[in-house]
Amino acid sequence: MKYDSRLIRRPHAQPRLRRTAWGFLTAAFWLFYLYLWAPLVTFVLWALGINTALHELYLRESHIDPFLLFVLPLVALACAALLIAWAEYNRFRFRGKDRRSAQSDVPRGEVAAALGADAATEGALCQIKVATLHMDDNARPLSLTPLGA
């Protein structure tokens, strides 16, 4: 098949069987790649003491606890499935709905009143981009020092 750059922008233009086959082939090569990392991962886990945790959790007294071996992975899968289902539900529910609206600006006088600042400090704050604000013991602005001027 001749190279067609439109397939990169529209992968669904490729036949479903070919797309699926390439997906399985890609997954197989990723698994093989991860398999090649197994010795290094095993060494790192051994160095961190994970081997001891494996022994304590699964292999103590030469028997395998069925709860830890089977039920915990099933619980983890169930939690993952529940989280994915919740995310998909929310995606379906809120798709195409922009619930955010623009907020109106708060008047300067209201901000100054909430801070407890006087008119001079309020005016200076509006004019300066970066400043150090000096406060009194009651956390009210007293003055400011412009920075980077």
pLDDT along the chain (149 residues), means of 10: 57 80 93 90 81 67 70 91 95 82 81 81 82 85 79
125: nearest Cα among 145, 110, 105, 106: 145
Structure tokens at 62: 């030469």
Contacts of 62 (CB under 8 A, 6+ apart): none
Rounded-to-integer distance, Cα 18 and Cα 1, Å: 12
Please name every residue paired with 107 in a beta bridge, in sequence order, or none if there are none: none
- What pLDDT was estimated at residue 27? 95
Structure tokens at 77: 């899968």
Q: Whole-model pTM?
A: 0.31
